[in-house]
């Protein structure tokens, strides 16, 4: 199976060809851990999970590295924001180290709940300071740096290909020039590799370096750690589209300047998940977390199913209504698979009939075409609804599809959990249905919370709403 991927460098879908036969080096920009990941961040990690699963499904052995940004890079790229880690530590009355540990664990917990595969390795920025210093030293030796105002800068004028992947042109550079605020920079695109002077006092995380006590710039972290674990030239680098213009552009400049060779072959970026009101922002707060969905009675896999329903390169506007329909669809899937599992034995893949094989090959074609997960979900339902295919074959093919979809289908069981609903509870259920009809979502949510507190989840289906024990 040839996997075709949209490569941001070149702006087209290309067949994936690995550097080493049968192997893939994959680097994904990980979370900043001064707050919970929001459901937009989780979209990025879900996309990377689908990519990794697809590559493994196609037979590759994937070495998947993800960094944890546990050193408090600034709100903006220059020395002009607030240190996010210090701000969080102050607000929560914890040390910066404890903040980082707490939110790293919370992040890993979220990814597990979403059935996102654990990377081959999480690499923490704070454990790789020496590697970053070594890379900055190399850049210095090769003449790509200058020191100004106590900080070490990357001199982008020394790297003629600067901005090539992001298609930055002269106009962008002019625009950058207008917003530049750091008077130490010689050029608007230059960026800090090592800070010894920050406008913030009491910098909590600092290390010795050849340039004085300080801390690394944000971009150097990904270059140093990816090169350490994947080598100076590797296959795929991922992240959200917000990283194209600055973070990934700077990563390319410093990595290729230090190593003297092409760094990454395929750049894959996911589009944003938006709220109706606009962007979600980790630093500004007021965002939705996976936990907030769980508290409303959703299973994390409902959110996974919801994300599969959109292509990773399309923007997705989150609404409760669309999450609700994904929840219903997934519930039907649980029911269907669970019932089949009760009554039928899974057929082995080499015994599949013609129709079942066609369904699987349609799915393979769609996932290999730049990860078209919405088509893949349609393929799954097409399979399940096809009367010419036996249940045993359906199970075999569905489980095979699930190696990529990650909906945990083999664990589905149909619960015989019918129980008596009290007249009071039934009145509340009816009231909620009315509230939803008249778009009084506040009251509908209140009623959902009442049941949640009693240990029940309300499940909406085409046959009405019913109660399920949590
Ligand atoms: P951060 O923890 O802010 O560094 O972000 C972690 C990942 O989430 C990065 O790859 C971002 O590009 C990505 N990201 C941030 N916001 C969103 C969003 N609303 N939708 C999708 N991806 C996002
Ligand atoms: Zn990065």
Q: pLDDT of 215-234, one tens digit each?
A: 999 899 999 999 999 999 99
Backbone conformation region of residue 19, classed left if phi is above 0, alpha if psi is from -120 to 50, else beta: alpha
Measured from the alpha carbon of residue 240, the closest ligand is 1
Spell out the long-range contacts of 383-391 with Cβ–Cβ below 8 A and sequence spacing 24 or more. 383/356, 383/359, 384/333, 384/336, 386/355, 386/359, 388/355, 389/353, 389/355, 389/356, 389/359, 390/344, 390/347, 390/353, 390/356, 391/340, 391/343, 391/344
- What residues have CB less than 8 Å from 330, skipping those under 6 apart? 299, 301, 302, 305, 407
Output the CA 223–ligand 2 centroid distance in Å.
Answer: 7
Q: Is there a contact between 395 and 341 (Cβ–Cβ < 8 Å)?
A: yes
Let me know whether 330 and 443 are in one domain: no
CA distance 47 to 312: 6
The predicted structure's pLDDT at residue 333: 96
How many whole angstroms from 271 Cα to the centroid of ligand 1?
9
- The 10 Å Cβ neighbour count of residue 344 is 15
For residue 269 the two structure tokens come to 């970026």
262 and 300 both lie in a single domain? no
Average pLDDT over residues 279-284: 77
In this prediction, residue 170 carries a pLDDT of 53
C-beta separation of 207 from 214 below 8 A: yes
Tell me the CATH number at 145.
3.40.50.620
Summary mean pLDDT of the chain: 91
**How many angstroms separate the alpha carbon of residue 289 from the centre of ligand 2?**
22
Distance 28 CA to ligand 2 centre (A): 7
Residue 73 lies in a domain: yes
pLDDT tens profile 94-111: 999 999 999 999 999 999
Q: Are residues 367 and 265 in the same domain?
A: no
Q: Which residue has the higher pLDDT, 424 or 154?
A: 154
Residue 141, pLDDT > 60, answer: yes
Summarize the confidence of residues 318-336 as an average pLDDT: 96
Residue from 242, 243, 274, 318 to probe ligand 1 pocket by mutation (most atoms less than 8 Å from CB): 242
Position with higher pLDDT, 54 vs 184: 54
416 belongs to a structural domain: no
Confidence of residue 416 (pLDDT cuts 50, 70, 90): low
Give 94: exposed, middle or buried? Use CB within 10 Å, 0-12, 13-18, 19+: middle
Distance 429 CA to ligand 1 centre (A): 37
- Choose between 90 and 356: higher pLDDT: 356
Distance of CA 245 to the CA centre of its chain: 18
Q: Does any domain span residue 3?
A: no
**Of the residues 270, 296, 329, the one at which a domain ends:** 270
- State whether residue 358 is helix, strand or coil: helix
Please choose from 40, 240, 274 the residue to mutate so as to test ligand 1's pocket, defined by most ligand atoms within 8 A of CB: 240
pLDDT of residue 421: 80
> Of 40-49, 292-301, 406-415, which range is least confident?
406-415
9 occurs within a structural domain? no
Residue 312 and residue 294 share a domain: yes
Higher pLDDT, 164 or 415: 164
Same domain, 58 and 179: yes
| pLDDT grade for 394, boundaries at 50, 70 and 90 | very high
266 and 288 assigned to the same domain? no
The answer to whether the CB of 156 falls within 8 A of the CB of 162 is yes
Q: What is the number of the ligand closest to the CA of 283?
A: 1
Mutate to test the pocket of ligand 1, among 32, 44, 283 (most ligand atoms within 8 A of CB): 44
pLDDT digits (tens, 9 = 90+) for 117-135: 999 999 999 999 999 999 9
Residues 266 and 304 in one domain: no
Reported as a single tens digit per residue, the pLDDT across 419-462 is 678 888 889 998 998 998 899 999 999 999 998 888 888 877 76
Question: What distance lies between CA 53 and its chain's CA centroid?
Answer: 14
Domain shared by 344 and 371, yes or no? yes
Pocket of ligand 1 from Cβ distances under 6 Å: 29, 31-32, 40-41, 43-44, 239-240, 242-243, 270, 272-273, 280, 282
- 7 found inside a domain: no
- From the CA of 254, which ligand is nearest? 2
Q: How confident is the model at residue 80 (pLDDT cuts 50, 70, 90)?
A: low
Question: What is the structure's pLDDT at 286?
Answer: 75
Same domain, 254 and 283: no
The residue out of 219, 254, 270 marking a domain boundary is: 270
For ligand 1, the distance from its centroid to the CA atom of residue 87, given in whole angstroms, is 20
Q: Helix, strand, or coil here: 20? A: coil
The mean-pLDDT minimum among 161-165, 252-256, 283-287 falls in 283-287
Tokens of 411: 């664990």
Atom of ligand 1 nearest to the CA of 30: 6
% helix, strand, coil for the chain, step of 5: 45, 15, 35
Among the three residues 270, 292, 309, which one is the final residue of a domain in this structure? 270
Query: Which pLDDT score is estimated for 402?
Result: 98
50 and 136 both lie in a single domain: yes
CA distances from 297 to 165, 422, 436, 449, 467 (A): 42, 20, 16, 8, 11
Q: Which range, of 69-78, 218-227, 411-420, averages the lowest pLDDT?
A: 69-78
In a domain, 75, yes or no: yes
Domain count, the chain: 3
Given a cut of 50, whether residue 175 has pLDDT beyond it is no
Q: Are residues 336 and 397 in the same domain?
A: yes
DSSP secondary structure of 75-136:
SSSSTTS-BHHHHHHHHHT--HHHHHHHHHHHHHHHHHHTTPPPPSEEEEGGG-HHHHHHHH
Per cent of the chain over pLDDT 90 is 76
Ligand that lies nearest to the alpha carbon of residue 255, given by its number in the listed order: 2
Structural domain boundaries, residue 293 = 275-411
Instruction: Clarify whether residues 136 and 173 are in a common domain.
Output: yes
Percent over 70 (pLDDT), the chain: 92
Tell me the CATH number at 390: 1.10.730.10
Residue 444 lies in a domain: yes
**Distance from the alpha carbon of residue 218 to the mean position of ligand 2, in angstroms:** 8
Residue owning the nearest CA to atom 11 of ligand 1: 240
5 assigned to some structural domain? no
């Amino acid at each position: 199976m040839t996997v075709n991927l949209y490569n941001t460098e070149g702006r087209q879908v290309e067949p994936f060809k690995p550097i080493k036969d049968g192997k893939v080096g994959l680097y994904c920009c990980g979370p900043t851990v001064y707050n919970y990941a929001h459901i937009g961040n989780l979209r990025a990690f879900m996309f990377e999970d689908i990519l990794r699963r697809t590559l493994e499904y196609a037979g590759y052995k994937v070495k998947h590295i993800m960094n944890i940004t546990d050193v408090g890079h600034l709100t903006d790229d220059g020395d002009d924001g607030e240190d996010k880690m210090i701000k969080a530590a102050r607000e929560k009355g914890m040390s910066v180290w404890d903040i980082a540990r707490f939110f790293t664990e919370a992040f890993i917990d979220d990814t597990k709940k979403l059935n996102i595969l654990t990377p081959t390795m999480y690499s923490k920025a704070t454990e790789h300071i020496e590697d970053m210093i070594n890379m900055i030293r190399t850049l210095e030796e090769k003449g790509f740096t200058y020191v100004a105002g106590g900080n070490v800068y990357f001199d982008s004028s020394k790297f003629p290909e600067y901005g090539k992947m992001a298609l930055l042109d002269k106009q962008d550079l002019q625009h950058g020039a207008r917003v530049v605020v750091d008077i130490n920079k010689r050029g608007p695109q230059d960026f800090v590799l090592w800070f010894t002077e920050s406008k913030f006092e009491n910098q909590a995380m600092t290390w010795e370096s050849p340039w004085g006590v300080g801390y690394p710039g944000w971009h150097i972290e990904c270059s140093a750690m990816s090169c350490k674990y994947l080598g100076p030239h590797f296959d795929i680098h991922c992240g959200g589209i917000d990283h194209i213009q600055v973070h990934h552009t700077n990563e390319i400049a410093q990595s290729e300047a230090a190593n003297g060779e092409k760094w990454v072959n395929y750049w894959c970026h996911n589009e944003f998940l938006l709220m109706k009101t606009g962007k979600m922002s980790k630093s500004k707060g007021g965002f939705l977390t996976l936990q907030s969905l769980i508290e409303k009675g959703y299973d994390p896999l409902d959110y996974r199913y919801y994300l599969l329903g959109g292509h990773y390169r399309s923007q997705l506007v989150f609404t409760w209504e669309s999450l609700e329909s994904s929840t219903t669809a997934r519930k039907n899937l649980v029911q269907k698979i669970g019932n089949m599992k009760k009554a039928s034995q899974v057929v082995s893949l080499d015994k599949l009939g013609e129709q079942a094989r066609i369904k699987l090959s349609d799915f393979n074609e769609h996932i290999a075409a730049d990860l078209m997960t919405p088509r893949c979900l349609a393929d799954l339902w097409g399979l399940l609804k096809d009367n010419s295919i036996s249940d045993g074959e359906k199970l075999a093919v569905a489980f095979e599809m699930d190696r990529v979809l990650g909906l945990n289908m083999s664990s589905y069981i149909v619960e015989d959990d019918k129980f008596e609903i009290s007249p009071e509870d039934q009145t509340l259920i009816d009231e909620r249905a009315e509230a939803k009809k008249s778009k009084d979502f506040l009251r509908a949510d209140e009623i959902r919370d009442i049941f949640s507190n009693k240990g029940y989840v309300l499940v909406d289906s085409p046959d009405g709403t019913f109660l399920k024990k949590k």
